[in-house]
Amino acid sequence: MKTLTLASIYEKQNFLNEALEIYQEIYKREPNNKEAIVAIERIKRSKVKFSGVNTKMRDLFVKMQSKEDYNEILRWLKQPCN
């Protein structure tokens, strides 16, 4: 079962999409759940605040499994800023 605790863990680990999905499911089941309502708003605000993040590289970093992944991230980090 998807719970506030699981959503909170995802949020603390910065898996915001997963956390948001769980909070929204909780809200659908319990429309008066203030913790879910506050969390949904908090995550939505944080997504707007960081909308310029390179999600491809972020996801590669989070799911990195090989030396090639590591080298790709290093190449990207060494690029000049635009």
Return per-residue pLDDT of the chain as tens, 82 residues.
899 999 999 999 989 999 999 999 999 999 999 999 999 999 998 876 666 678 888 888 889 999 999 999 899 889 887 5
User: Is residue 4 helix, strand or coil?
Assistant: helix
On the 0-12 / 13-18 / 19+ scale of CB atoms within 10 A, 46 is: middle
Q: What is the pTM assigned to this prediction?
A: 0.59
> Other CB atoms closer than 10 Å to residue 39's CB: what's the count?
22
35 & 68 share domain = no
On the 0-12 / 13-18 / 19+ scale of CB atoms within 10 A, 78 is: exposed
9 & 19 share domain = yes
32 & 56 share domain = no
32 & 67 share domain = no
Tell me how many domains the chain contains.
Answer: 2
